[in-house]
Amino acid sequence: MLYVPRVALALVTLIIGLWVIRMVVKLTQKGLTKSKADPTLVPFFNNLLSWGLKALLLISVASMVGIATTPFVAVLGAFEALAFGIGTSEVEHVLATQC
């Protein structure tokens, strides 16, 4: 019985959070389309924004229920560091071949 209010609040937060994320992604898509951004950039940026916000929402909801979220944050940080490292090595390679 102790978890019922926590789970109910977490479900309400999840539903409202997903709705807010959907609205933010739609507004971002409209803004990028109006600014005449590259058509291939719009879906990429929307997916990146959507998945990033959903990951943060799920970590927040898990924390509300009482699940330890420190390992999840550590794994996300490791993936971000890996992606940054791969991206910077590719940029370095491109810059080295163009000069």
Which CATH number does 1-67 carry?
1.10.287.1260
pLDDT digits (tens, 9 = 90+) for 20-76: 999 999 999 999 889 888 888 888 889 989 998 998 899 889 888 888 888 888 888
Alpha-carbon gap, residue 42 to 44, rounded angstroms:
5
> Alpha carbon 86 to chain centroid distance?
19
Q: Of the candidates 56, 60, 48, 46, which has an alpha carbon nearest to the alpha carbon of residue 11?
A: 60
Give the predicted TM-score (pTM) of the model. 0.72
Handedness of CA 27, 31, 34, 37 (dihedral sign): negative
Q: Where do the structural domains in the chain lie, given as residue ranges?
A: 1-67, 68-99
Report the SS3 class of residue 69: coil
